[in-house]
A and B are shown apart, each in its own frame.
Chain A
Amino acid sequence: ILNVEQSPQSLHVQEGDSTNFTCSFPSSNFYALHWYRWETAKSPEALFVMTLNGDEKKKGRISATLNTKEGYSYLYIKGSQPEDSATYLCASQSTGNQFYFGTGTSLTVIP
């Protein structure tokens, strides 16, 4: 079982601030890195899937980058809004198609 780590554990930012969080993962048997957004009382929903070193993905104000050589990914949120408040999970997908999740970063955007 792979050890995926996320930091920080929680984050409070003011509306309009930009923020970023980190996901680190082991390089062994790595296939892809996933980011999920998990709102309270809902199910996790996929944001991005990245496989190649240097990959960058963007969806609106949210973007992500991938560095497979050093084993980390960043998630960026530009101009945070209250509706961005959620837990952001990353998951490392192995070559055997298993998915291992980090413990998440809980983001609270204060109006």
Chain B
Amino acid sequence: NAGVMQNPRHLVRRRGQEARLRCSPMKGHSHVYWYRQLPEEGLKFMVYLQKENIIDESGMPKERFSAEFPKEGPSILRIQQVVRGDSAAYFCASSRTEPNEKLFFGSGTQLSVL
């Protein structure tokens, strides 16, 4: 049973370009969470999705950032017109529906904006 898969591991973009980060949850997991880790900081909640639904996006910047979790395929975190301040590690986690279920994390995507 493969774990949570994130790709790419490293992504380099120039200012103004778009960044697409992908997350395939573990088999049987229908909940996906995206977190951002800035240097010297912890994991900051961005968005919580279930299949085809955004449950909570209160942690996501209102502009340039969007997320989706389609019926088929991976969850995508999309950052348009990236700026240097977007440079960070982005982690995805998934869980099952049952109560008390722990999160399983991917290895993260390190985004560097030049």
Contacts and interface: CB of A to CB of B under 8 A. Distances in A.
Interface residues of A, number: 23
A103 interface: yes
A102 interface: yes
Given A97-B48, A97-B55, A98-B56, A103 B41 contact: yes
B90 interface: no
Nearest to A100: B45
Interface in B1-33: 3-4, 31, 33
A37 B3 CA distance: 17
Contacts of B105: 43-45
A46 B102 CA distance: 6
Interface string A5-32: 0000000000000000000000000011
A97 B31 contact: yes
- Which range holds the interface residue count of chain B? 20 to 34
Contact of A102 (B35, B42, B55, B56): B42
Contacts, number: 55
Interface in A41-75: 42-46, 49, 51
Contacts of B103: 34, 36, 44, 46, 91, 99
Contacts of A43: 3-4, 91, 105-108
Contacts of A51: 100
B73 interface: no
A94 to B, nearest CB: 9
- Between A32, A51, A98, the greatest number of chain B beta carbons within 10 A of the residue's beta carbon is seen for A98
A98 B45 contact: yes
A101 B42 contact: yes
| A-B complex: 4 closest residue pairs judged by Cβ atoms | A103-B42, A46-B102, A43-B105, A101-B43
Interface of A: 1, 31-32, 34, 36, 42-46, 49, 51, 89, 91, 96-104
